Amino acid sequence: MKQYIQNNQDRFFEELFSLLRIPSVSSKEVHRPDMFRCAERLCELLLEAGADCAQVCPTEGHPVVFGSRIVDPSFKTVLVYGHYDVQPVEPLELWKSNPFEPEIRDGAIYARGANDDKGQLFMHIKAFEFLVREGKLRHNVKFIFEGEEEIGSPSLAKWAAENKEKLSADIILVSDTTMISETVPSINCGMRGLSYVEVKVTGPDKDLHSGHYGGAVANPINVLCDMISSLIDKDGRITVKGFYDDVVELSREDRAKLARAPFDLDEYMNFLDIRQVKGEKGYTTMERTGIRPCLDVNGIWGGYTGEGAKTVLPSEAHAKISMRLVPNQDSETITRLFEEHFKSIAPDYVKVEVTPHHGGNGFLIPISSEAYQAASKAMTEVYGIEPVPSRGGGSIPILADLQKILGIDPLLMGFGLERDTIHSPNESYLLKQLFSGMEAIALFYKYY
Amino acid sequence: MKQYIQNNQDRFFEELFSLLRIPSVSSKEVHRPDMFRCAERLCELLLEAGADCAQVCPTEGHPVVFGSRIVDPSFKTVLVYGHYDVQPVEPLELWKSNPFEPEIRDGAIYARGANDDKGQLFMHIKAFEFLVREGKLRHNVKFIFEGEEEIGSPSLAKWAAENKEKLSADIILVSDTTMISETVPSINCGMRGLSYVEVKVTGPDKDLHSGHYGGAVANPINVLCDMISSLIDKDGRITVKGFYDDVVELSREDRAKLARAPFDLDEYMNFLDIRQVKGEKGYTTMERTGIRPCLDVNGIWGGYTGEGAKTVLPSEAHAKISMRLVPNQDSETITRLFEEHFKSIAPDYVKVEVTPHHGGNGFLIPISSEAYQAASKAMTEVYGIEPVPSRGGGSIPILADLQKILGIDPLLMGFGLERDTIHSPNESYLLKQLFSGMEAIALFYKYY
């Protein structure tokens, strides 16, 4: 495929950039028309690449793109999953170039979605195109690209259940994760689940002058800080009642296996410019993101946040809080436990509201499976070194749902790198990874 | 003066509204021209009311308005202080009418500054006008109106020191505070000081994907919450080292005197729609705002605060924190103690910055003074009941400075009410208080 990439490189850039230019931010209502434009553009690309059919399928939320090429019903079928929606781009002032005007700098594409997930799903379309044009496709291939992954995939599970037959396949192939490093390929064999909530703490029913009331009336920001602070104890454990009940402790053996993945703590801290890591007592950094749950405040706001000073004792304080879950923890149960706990710790002098945003369960993939072994061979051929099995800290909640609804295991061949800073300003994707990914995917079809 | 008010009411509204329409928000650079406009308008009003001279005096910040009428050097001189700058108006969506387009509803004027302090300083101009026109003025009167009270009066102290002679007087008369209630007049005989800082907590040097890093890297929002939470202990006492060192404990007798002011806790809680008050153990609600210091978060922000969900582990978290101080606590010392303390409790895995905003000291006024007694008589005549001495929770830091620089005591005849919600949306000022205030001020000149 190397030669094919070289011959078509300019066209590839044009096509990928046409996707990246569409601001398909799923969480913002104003981008609804962009979601449709992006879905339609994907259909065009699928058809040009060799799909028999491709269609924009409406849902209650943003549309799903479905496309397929059925070569021979007796062949194995690969169902490629990806998502065309992206995260918001704020804070805009930290971007070095326009997030929706892709730029190539220092061997990487810079744009929102360059990696997550437009860049990665694009590799699948091009590997497929290569196999079709070279007459080498010996599988049936189906594509589903959703537009709601970044907001918790509220519509895809329902759509998948209604289109179960259409989606029948042997494996769900996904590139939406990272490798350990440029030189250490890895395959994700497990991901964390997610529970995401928003909380609101209300004190007095109006903003007050902090001089007149300060000291006598509970300040909802101070109270929110107290409440958040109490959610994690001094050992880094989450205090929500029942939170760990379903967490399966890994055996010493399994932990040793995962510890084989190379990891340099100093390099990690240097990359983040921090002097110390912090997490649950008794676990390594890789375990803390791989096999242990966690709780993070993703956003907080309240009172006067503008220029200068305002002496206000505000009426309300807000926070967005998410918990990453490990396999066997149920997202809905955890959301319920959080809500109960958070309300139970609210002092009398405030009112508390908890609104669930979205969530999903984690999952595990057997290393012994045929698909995992094919992916491993393919990546070994491209990178010259056998990939290590890893556990991803992030969440693709919909995959656990699809696994359950369709009865098909997912396989996570991700080519992102930490340096890509997805979800952050200046998201990027190395050209080297883009092209190596295409090669590895094409080889996967060879070995699967 | 009642008759005079009735005869001139419409003109009074026109004049006051012309001040309220100018958005003189001192904390925002964009309003610099409005500050000048407002200062010039005040000069016009002073001259029309009968001042011999009135001028806009430039400072390094917003200008000071000075005006005077010298009747006879042997007469007593009253120096009226007020401020024409106002607080920001955000959140705008909570205003029922445009904050800079005054409206009269249900017997009150609604606008930013309706009370604080344009409405209250206006009473002084009109009482002065009445005495001049009726030929009853037996005092020399001087006015200083500053444009920086809401941002800590950074320029006035210097200007006052340079114009000490010009400002010589027997009393500083101020209306920038509240009465206990519509039916319980009170005179402030002490105010709290202020120390206002902004803090920034930085974790990793970029926003991170909370799935990839959550659980292993300290989240600056969680850390900020921990730090803020630790600033007040379970007894409601501030934990900043040395914070209480200079606080003078009031005698049992003095506390009993202050407790004579009527106060209904249920009414207070009903007004604020809260089920419980909260504050320092061992003190009443009125003591907590009157004679005890406190610490409040006035604003907090970090991470994703927009619509929907974003799974970000942010790089930074911020807060604006203010401390109200009691007489004998030094604002600069407290700011330094806070900075030292806050940095000392910062864990290794974050960086912390503390930026002082502004501050000032509290002060006390003797009840036995001639001026206090004159004000008491004047208010008794207007309200039919003797005013009680009270302690204001708010701060007018510049008054302590002026007292020191000029060697003149301030006297606080405030006519605001709690219901006016100054600093908040829908600030208002009751017409009844506006007119009673004018009467009481005119009578003050009679008895002083």
Mutation for B interface: A92, A188, A209, most B CBs within 10 A: A209
Burial level of A246, CB count in 10 A (0-12/13-18/19+)? middle
Domain assignment present for residue A277? The answer is no
Distance separating alpha carbons of residues B323 and B309, to the nearest angstrom: 34
Distance separating alpha carbons of residues A112 and B285, to the nearest angstrom: 52
Instruction: Say which residues have a Cβ less than 8 Å from residue A264's Cβ, sequence separation at least 6.
Output: none
> What does DSSP assign to residue A181?
B
According to the model, what pLDDT value does residue A209 have?
A: 85
Domain assignment present for residue B202? The answer is yes
- Average pLDDT (A9-30) is 97
Mutation for B interface: A96, A230, A305, most B CBs within 10 A: A305
According to the model, what pLDDT value does residue A284 have?
A: 95
- Average pLDDT (A251-278) is 89
Q: How many CA atoms lie within 13 A of B270 on its CB side?
A: 5
| pLDDT for residue B15 is more than 80 | yes
What is the 3-state composition of chain A as percent helix, strand, coil, each rounded to the nearest 5? 35, 25, 40
> What does DSSP assign to residue B370?
H
Contact across the interface for A300 and B204, Cβ inside 8 Å: no
| pLDDT for residue B351 is more than 90 | yes
Confidence of residue A250 (pLDDT cuts 50, 70, 90): confident
| pLDDT for residue B374 is more than 80 | yes
Chains A and B form CB pairs within 8 A to the count of 368
Q: Considering CB atoms only, which of B204, B292, B392 is closest to A273?
A: B204
Q: Are residues A125 and A209 in the same domain?
A: no
pLDDT in tens, B49-92: 999 999 999 999 999 999 999 999 999 999 999 999 999 999 89
CATH, residue A110: 3.40.630.10
Asked if B81 and B402 count as a contact pair (C-beta separation under 8 A), the reply is yes
Domain assignment present for residue B441? The answer is yes
- Of the three residues B344, B360, B376, the one that is the final residue of a domain is B360
Give how far Cα A43 sits from Cα of A156, A394, A438, B184, Å. Answer: 18, 28, 19, 74
**Cβ count near B392 (within 10 Å):** 22
- Average pLDDT (B266-290) is 94
- Average pLDDT (A200-219) is 93
Please report, to the nearest 10 degrees, the dihedral formed by the alpha carbons of residues A283, A285, A291, A295 taken in order.
90
Q: Are residues B169 and B218 in the same domain?
A: no
| pLDDT for residue A137 is more than 80 | yes
Burial level of A281, CB count in 10 A (0-12/13-18/19+)? exposed
Asked if A211 and B392 count as a contact pair (C-beta separation under 8 A), the reply is yes
| pLDDT for residue A7 is more than 90 | yes
pLDDT in tens, A265-320: 999 999 999 999 999 999 999 999 988 999 999 999 999 998 888 889 999 999 99
Using alpha carbons, select from A322, A318, A319, A320 the residue that is nearest to residue A295.
Answer: A322
Percent with pLDDT over 90 in chain A:
81
**Cβ count near A102 (within 10 Å):** 24
Q: Which residue of B has its CA nearest to A197?
A: B309
According to the model, what pLDDT value does residue B346 have?
A: 97
Place of tokens 């029913």: A205
Tokens for A102, please give them.
Answer: 């892709």
Instruction: Say which residues have a Cβ less than 8 Å from residue B24's Cβ, sequence separation at least 6.
Output: B31, B34, B35, B37, B38, B84, B85, B86, B113, B147
Q: Are residues A348 and A373 in the same domain?
A: no
- Which secondary-structure segment (H or E) carries A60? none
According to the model, what pLDDT value does residue B256 have?
A: 86
Contact across the interface for B285 and A216, Cβ inside 8 Å: yes
Percent with pLDDT over 90 in chain B:
81
Distance separating alpha carbons of residues A311 and A315, to the nearest angstrom: 13
| pLDDT for residue B392 is more than 80 | no
Confidence of residue B396 (pLDDT cuts 50, 70, 90): confident
Range of the domain at B345: 193-247+293-360
Asked if B425 and B323 count as a contact pair (C-beta separation under 8 A), the reply is no
According to the model, what pLDDT value does residue A384 have?
A: 95
| pLDDT for residue B183 is more than 90 | no
Q: Are residues B297 and B343 in the same domain?
A: yes
| pLDDT for residue B330 is more than 80 | yes
Please report, to the nearest 10 degrees, the dihedral formed by the alpha carbons of residues A412, A418, A420, A421 taken in order.
110
Asked if A304 and B320 count as a contact pair (C-beta separation under 8 A), the reply is yes
Q: Are residues A61 and A103 in the same domain?
A: yes
Q: Are residues B79 and B169 in the same domain?
A: yes
According to the model, what pLDDT value does residue B130 have?
A: 98
Distance separating alpha carbons of residues A208 and A214, to the nearest angstrom: 9
| pLDDT for residue A258 is more than 80 | no
Q: Are residues B110 and B212 in the same domain?
A: no
| pLDDT for residue A115 is more than 90 | yes
Q: Are residues A202 and A313 in the same domain?
A: yes
Q: Are residues A29 and A82 in the same domain?
A: yes
| pLDDT for residue B4 is more than 80 | yes
- Of the three residues B338, B360, B382, the one that is the final residue of a domain is B360
Q: Is A299 helix (H, G, I), strand (E, B) or coil?
A: strand
What is the phi-psi region of residue A113: left when phi exceeds 0, alpha when psi lies from -120 to 50, beta otherwise? left
Identify the weakest region by mean pLDDT among A38-47, A197-206, B78-87, B417-426. B417-426
| pLDDT for residue B367 is more than 90 | no
Domain assignment present for residue A421? The answer is yes
Asked if B405 and B161 count as a contact pair (C-beta separation under 8 A), the reply is yes
Tokens for B24, please give them.
Answer: 């003189």
- Average pLDDT (A220-246) is 98
> What does DSSP assign to residue B149?
G
Structurally, how many domains does chain A consist of?
A: 2
Q: Is B150 helix (H, G, I), strand (E, B) or coil?
A: helix
Query: Which residues in chain B have their CB less than 8 angstroms from residue A304's CB?
Result: 88, 90, 298-299, 320
pLDDT in tens, B200-258: 999 999 998 888 899 999 999 999 999 999 999 999 999 999 999 999 888 888 788 77
Confidence of residue A24 (pLDDT cuts 50, 70, 90): very high
Domain assignment present for residue A107? The answer is yes
pLDDT in tens, A369-414: 899 999 999 999 999 999 988 877 677 878 888 988 999 989 999 9
Domain assignment present for residue B157? The answer is yes
Domain assignment present for residue A265? The answer is no
Q: Are residues B60 and B184 in the same domain?
A: yes
Query: Which residues in chain A have their CB less than 8 angstroms from residue B308's CB?
Result: 27-28, 88, 151, 357
Q: Are residues A50 and A187 in the same domain?
A: yes
According to the model, what pLDDT value does residue B366 have?
A: 75
Q: Are residues B224 and B155 in the same domain?
A: no
Tokens for A287, please give them.
Answer: 């375990």
Domain assignment present for residue B257? The answer is no
- Of the three residues A339, A360, A381, the one that is the final residue of a domain is A360
Contact across the interface for B90 and A306, Cβ inside 8 Å: yes
CA B248 vs. chain centroid, Å, equals: 23
CA B369 vs. chain centroid, Å, equals: 24
Mutation for B interface: A27, A93, A221, most B CBs within 10 A: A221
CATH, residue B345: 3.30.70.360
- Average pLDDT (A10-39) is 97
